[in-house]
Amino acid sequence: MAAMHRFSLSRLLVGACLFLLQGCFAGAFYLPDQVQVETPAHYQLRFEEVFFASRDGTRLHGWFVPAIGPPVGTVIHFHGNYGNQSYSFRQVHWLPAQGFNVFTFDYRGYGRSEGAPSKRGVYEDSVAAVEYIVTRPGGDRDNVFVFGQSLGGANAIAAVAGKDFPQVRAIVAEGAFSSYRMQAQEAMAAFTREKIGNVPCLLPQIWPLSFFVVTDSYCPAECIHRASPIPLLLIHCRQDSVVSYRHSLRLYEAAREPKQLWLIDGCSHLKVFTAAQPDSGYRQKLVQFFMAHRKKPR
């Protein structure tokens, strides 16, 4: 009787976890918000409101922030899964003072962009953002740099690796995951430990179930090798509790040369370039990386 009770409890927990996996995929990877918390004007920067179409016609919103002084290139910023571009502009507000135009945008369902987020839709939005910048009149189309953080890093890698963008001079991904399925598995394992503790034999049952719920389409680890020969820089905090730094190790292993990996101690998820780390020197190192791969004028 006790054995049957344990079996029933195990089935109940597995069923609950499967339900959570099905319902929480979008919640785990896409947490959009329409509230605008700040604009580039908060940093005394001029900016242009931009509306452009995704590949399926969905209307997307972005900001184009011109460089202070003569531009040396344009950085396309792919933000993470939470909020919208107004939450994450603080990550890149310092780049115009370094001579870079900055283009930020919101995926579908985020901020003022139309639609609802989905993996395929967000991928197509990411491709459309790069296409917008490399065809934008009046810009330096030969010096485009892609900078993605967390989910944005996965999006940036997939978007550039899946298309031919010779104008993109370098790709930078900070705190990115290597696999949607693996990240979902790790997040679910952490969730179950937090909510119900360590249940024997539960996690081995959750992991196979995740294969039926979470696909690895547009998985960065599967396509990152195709980004070569565009120079790649992967950045990860060793203490990252949201996305393990081991994801960047896997991405680095899957990538082809030229590639670099910065594993950084003493920080947490997406904190390398924020105001909390102003004297770390990593902002200047990032600028140096971009400049080293800038196409020199003839």
Query: Phi and psi of 291, rounded to 5°?
Result: -65, -35
137: amino acid identity, one letter: P
13-292: CATH number: 3.40.50.1820
| pLDDT, position 26 | 52
- C-alpha distance from residue 238 to each of 118, 172, 234 (Å): 29, 17, 12
- Residue 227: exposed, middle, or buried by beta-carbon count in 10 A (0-12, 13-18, 19+)? buried
Residue-wise pLDDT tens digits, 129-141: 999 999 999 878 8
- C-alpha distance from residue 83 to each of 117, 172, 232, 235 (Å): 12, 21, 26, 22
Structure tokens at 15: 């069923």
Which has the higher per-residue pLDDT, 181 or 56? Answer: 56
| pLDDT band per the 50, 70, 90 thresholds, residue 27 | low
What is the DSSP code (8-state) at residue 46?
Answer: -
Given a cut of 50, whether residue 45 has pLDDT beyond it is yes
**Residue-range domain boundaries for the chain:** 13-292
pTM over 0.95, yes/no: no
| pLDDT band per the 50, 70, 90 thresholds, residue 259 | very high
- Write down the number of H helices and E strands in the chain: 9, 10
